[in-house]
Every structure is written in C-alpha cells, then in structure tokens.
Structure 1
Amino acid sequence: MVSGRITESSIHTRVLANLQRNLAKGAKIQEQLSSGKQLNRPSDSPAGTVSALQLRSESLTSQQYTRNAEDGMGWLSTLEDTLASSSTLTNRARDLTVQALNMNSNGALAGEALAAEIDQLRDTLISQANTRYLDRPVFGGNTTDPVAYDKDGVFTGNAYDPSQVATTSVSRTVGSGTKVRVDLTGTEAYGDDTNGLFKVLKDLSASIRAGDRDQLSTDLGRLDKASDQLKSAVSEIGSRYNRIAQMKTSAQDRLLSVTSQLSDIEDIDLPKTIMDMQLQQTSYQAALAATAKVIQPSLIDFLR
C-alpha cells in the first residue's frame, strides 16, 4: 500500500482553507447580527425564501383589506350619522304637522309659522342629503357630480339597480371574494321625487297654508311612510357597518398571524445568534493557536 506524500505546502494550503471557511462562517453570523435577518439572499434558504415571498404577498393583501374596510366604515359612518340626524328632523316635521291638525281655523299666523319651519326643515334635509365623504356625495350612488340633489330636492345622482350592482353602486373588497356595498342612494333613503320625503314636506307646507285638514291628514300618513323608510335605511347601514367591522378584525388577525410566521422564517433568534458568534470567535482563536503549532518552522526560521 502506497501512502500519499504530505508536504509542508499541502499542510499550509489545507490549514489556510480551513481558516478561510472559519472566517466565512463568522462573517455570515456577523451579517445576520447586523441585519437582524437569517435570510439575506435566496441562497441562504431557497425553500424559506419561497415561503417568505408567499407570506409577504398575504401580508400585503391583508393590509389592503384593512384599508378598504376602514374606507368603507368611513362611508357608512357618514351615512349613519346623516340618516340619524335626518330622522330627528323628520320627527320634528311630524310634530309640527300634528300641531297644524289640532290648530283652530283662526290660526292663520300660527299656520304660516308652522309652514315656514317645515320649509326650513326641508331645506336642511336637502342639505344633509348632499353630505359628502372624501369629496363625493354619499347619497349620489357612483355619480361624479358634486351633489346628489338639486336645490329643489330633485335627485340628480345615479340610481341603484340590484341587477347591476357592480356598475350602479360603490363597494369595497374587504375579504377574499367578499365585497360590501358602502353607499346608499338618496331614493333608497329619502324616497323618489314623487312620494319621497322632500315632496311630502313640500305638500305639507302647502296644505298647512291652505288650511286643508283632509289633505294634511293624508300627508301625515305619507310622512310616516317616509320616516319608516329612513329608519329602515339606518338599520341597513348598521348591518353593513357591523359586517365590515368584522371583516376588518379578521384581516387584522390574519395580518398578525402572517407577520409572526414571516418573522419565524426571516428573523434571527438574537440570543442564539449572539451565542453562536461567541462560539465562532472562540473556535477561530483555537484554530489559529492550533495552526501555529501544526505548521513546522521552516529553514529560514532555523537560520535566524
């Protein structure tokens, strides 16, 4: 059996190669400590890189769902507050109508005062129906116009068509395959231009001024229907708000979960990495000491 010849040169080469590997390992640990990441390039862990990319995509999606939900809740909050205020004003108009019905026939001046107040309530309600959120009328559907109603209380927005939800409403995607409508057209809340709230209030004012009790009684029934429609709209908006709030919570929970999983893949375990660094430094110092003993003195060393 012939053994291979081991020369001083081969010993030096092997020792230096081992030291170089030791240094490279120490440099990698230092890079992890300085960046706080155990994945600094795809070659560090190809499988981990793929998982990290997928988790980052899920994280961005969850963040977008959360932003969409917050925007939708802003729309719905504006609608809910406006409808609640409109309902209060409508109740006041009803009280004035009842007063007019109970007023004696000689109360012309009082009737004029009641009619004038109803006119003011109507103007205020029209103003509320033009409430805007992010510079868009919340009761105008998907219209690009600045208002949903003109000064006479005529609806100028885009009407909602249940058969064409995508093109006649404003919706927000708040989950995978989940869209929630965040708008409410004026006709759905205040009624149409023929029998809606604004037309009823106009007729009420005229009936009070004319002293027509029979017509006033009929208009009171129409007003109650318009009021019920407002209350129904408030209920509908509340249910949508709750749904979006639940979807927002789900998106935030998913975001926390994904962030935790991503941290497990990408981030270092700081105490463990520091310990690894200390062990690596100790190992390198020991390797240097052993190398000094392994490499034999050369002829030059003897001649000194």
Structure 2
Amino acid sequence: MSIGRITSQQQLATAQRSIQTGRANLAKLQEQASTGRALLKPSDDPSGTGAALRVRAESRATQQHAVNITDGLGWSNTVDSALSGSEDLMRRAIDLTTQGANSATMTPASREAIATELEGIRNDLMSQANTQYMGRSVFAGDSDTGAAFTAATYAFSGTPGATVERRVSSTETVAVDGDGAAAFGTGSTSVFAVLDGIAADLRAGTDIGGKLTDIKAAFTNLTNQHGIVGARMSRLEQAQTLNLTTATNLETQRSGIEDIDPAKVIIDLKSQELTYQSALSVTAKVLQPTLLSFIS
C-alpha cells in the first residue's frame, strides 16, 4: 500500500483557497459595514431576499394608501366646510322665515328686505353646493362636471348615486364626496326653490307660516348628509392612524431583514481581518520555497 505525498503545490493550492475564502468574507463584511445592508445580493440569503421583496411590496401599497387617505381627507374636509357654511346660511334663513311669518308686524318694506336677504342666502347656498376641490365638484358624484347644480333651473347635473372613493387599505375603500342631490335637493324640490317660493310669497303678502316646515325639512337634509360626511372623515382619520402604524411595522420588518447589526458586523469584521492577516502570515512562513520545491 502506497502513501501519497502532499506536495508543495498541493499545500500552496490549499493555502490559496483558504486565503481567497478569507478575503471574500472580509470583502463582504467591509461592504456590509459601509452600506449598512445585510443583503448585498439575492444569493446571500434567498429566503431573506424573498421576505424582503414581500415586505417592500406591502410598503409600497401602504405608501399609496397614505396618499389616497390624504387626498380623501382633502375632499372630505372641503365637503365638511361647505356643509357647515350651508347650515349657517340655513339657520339664518329659518330665522328670517320665522320673522316673516309674523304678518302682524310686517310692512311691505320689511317683507321686501327679508325677501332680498333670502335670495342672497339662496345664491350663497348655490355657491356652497357648487364647491370644488382640485377642479372637481365635491357634490357631483363621480362626474367631472364643473358644477353640481344649474343656477337657472336648480337641476342636479352630477351623477346620481355615484360616489368618489379612495382606497385606504387592501380591503377597504371610503367615499370622500358629498351627495349633492340628497343634501340640497334638485329642481323644484331643492332648497333653492324653497327659498325662492318664500321670497315670492313675502312680496305677494302671502302668509309664509306653512313654509317653515319646508325650510326646516331642507335643513334636516343638510344635517343628515353632514353626519354621513362626518362619519366618513372619522373613518379616514382612523385609517390614517392605522396606516402609519402599519408603515412603521413594515419598516421595522424590512430593517430586520435587510439591515445589519452595526455592533455585530464591526466585531465580525475585526475578527475576520485578524484571521485573514494571520492566514497570510502563517502561509508565508509554512510555504517557504526550498530546493525540494523545485525538484518535487
């Protein structure tokens, strides 16, 4: 049985492989330390790379939801402001109608003054009903029409029953506009027509006591729609809070997968540098060339 001899060339090849491996490990640790990233290429950790890609995809979706929520709050705040302004106008209209219904103390001049002010309120209400956000009417549904109501006929020119929605999570959308037809009515049954009728009756000297019911009903429609919008705003604000929490958790997950532990990497780097330098020194001493190296 013969025993093979380990030649100098074999020793040199083994030493070279060891040094190359050490150099590769050292280079990897140096790059991790300089970039702060644990995953430098997919082959470093295939399962970790897959997890990182999933987390990043979820993060992008969460970022888009955050944009949607911000836009939705812009719409909803605009609707809320318009309805608040409309309610203030309607309270004044109710006060004026109540005052005008007291026919015993009304003169033609006072009737005319109230009628004129009611017409001004009607115009202001029309302006509120045609409020826009980013160039789109907030009470016209998903229609791109510039105005929800036609000033001449009070007809609703939006899309009945359609809503503008924003996706706030992977499973939920929230309507962000206002239902103009439900809030202000349309045509001859609109709040604008009701105010016109009261003004006309005042000028004609007709008792308007019965019109109080109509204008109070119109006010109720406004407040009901305002309540719906308020509930949607509350949901958007909750979604915004949840979205922020989700974004923070996803970033923590991503960092845990992709980013290094600086203290650990520095310790590993120093250890690898020492190991590499030691390997170079030992190899240089062990593989001193001799006459035997040339004749083996």
Q: Does 1:180 align with 2:188?
A: no
Partner of 1:219: 211
Partner of 2:267: 275
* Superposition deviation, residue 105 in structure 1: 6.3
CA distance in 2, matches of 1:279, 1:195: 84
What one-letter code is carried by the residue in structure 2 that aligns with 1:157?
Answer: S
Instruction: Check conservation: 1:195, 1:222, Cα contact below 8 A.
Output: no
Instruction: Check conservation: 2:83, 2:222, Cα contact below 8 A.
Output: yes
Write the deviation string for residues 130-187 of structure 1: whole angstroms up to 9, x where unpaired. Answer: 11011100011111111111223613432433xxxxxx22111112231221122311
Instruction: Check conservation: 1:190, 1:230, Cα contact below 8 A.
Output: yes
User: How many aligned residue pairs are there?
Assistant: 293
Q: Does 1:135 align with 2:135?
A: yes
TM normalised by structure 1 equals: 0.91
CA distance in 1, matches of 2:167, 2:197: 42
* Corresponding residue to 1:285 among 277, 280, 289: 277
* Superposition deviation, residue 247 in structure 1: 1.9
- 2:229 is paired with a residue whose SS is helix
- 2:168 is paired with a residue whose SS is strand
CA distance in 2, matches of 1:155, 1:141: 14
Q: Does 1:294 align with 2:291?
A: no
Instruction: Check conservation: 1:153, 1:198, Cα contact below 8 A.
Output: no
Partner of 1:107: 107
Instruction: Check conservation: 1:59, 1:258, Cα contact below 8 A.
Output: yes
CA distance in 2, matches of 1:54, 1:155: 50
CA distance in 2, matches of 1:181, 1:157: 19
Partner of 1:164: none
Cα gap change, 1:102/1:282 in structure 2, threshold over 3 Å: closer, same or farther? same
Instruction: Check conservation: 1:66, 1:248, Cα contact below 8 A.
Output: yes
Partner of 1:124: 124
TM normalised by structure 2 equals: 0.94
Partner of 2:192: 198
Partner of 1:165: none
Instruction: Check conservation: 2:130, 2:137, Cα contact below 8 A.
Output: yes
- 1:143 is paired with a residue whose SS is coil
Partner of 1:259: 251
Runs of 4+ in structure 1 displaced over 4 angstroms? none
What one-letter code is carried by the residue in structure 2 that aligns with 1:92?
Answer: R
* Superposition deviation, residue 100 in structure 1: 1.3
Partner of 1:55: 55
CA distance in 2, matches of 1:87, 1:40: 60
- 1:217 is paired with a residue whose SS is coil
Aligned runs of 1:16-27 on 2, under 5 Å? Answer: 16-27=16-27
CA distance in 1, matches of 2:104, 2:153: 31
Q: Does 1:231 align with 2:223?
A: yes
CA distance in 2, matches of 1:286, 1:106: 108
CA RMSD of aligned residues (A): 1.8
Partner of 1:152: 152
Write the deviation string for residues 106-141 of structure 1: whole angstroms up to 9, x where unpaired. Answer: 611111111111111110110111110111000111
Identity %: 37
* Superposition deviation, residue 262 in structure 1: 1.0
Cα gap change, 1:137/1:153 in structure 2, threshold over 3 Å: closer, same or farther? farther
**Which segment is superposed worse, 96-105 or 20-29?**
96-105
* Superposition deviation, residue 234 in structure 1: 0.8
- 1:194 is paired with a residue whose SS is helix
Write the deviation string for residues 76-108 of structure 1: whole angstroms up to 9, x where unpaired. Answer: 111111101100000001111111122546611
Q: Does 1:84 align with 2:78?
A: no
CA distance in 1, matches of 2:244, 2:82: 28
CA distance in 1, matches of 2:249, 2:105: 72
**Which segment is superposed worse, 245-254 or 255-264?**
245-254
* Superposition deviation, residue 286 in structure 1: 1.2
Cα gap change, 1:17/1:106 in structure 2, threshold over 3 Å: closer, same or farther? closer
What one-letter code is carried by the residue in structure 2 that aligns with 1:246?
Answer: Q
CA distance in 1, matches of 2:253, 2:13: 44
Instruction: Check conservation: 1:116, 1:205, Cα contact below 8 A.
Output: yes
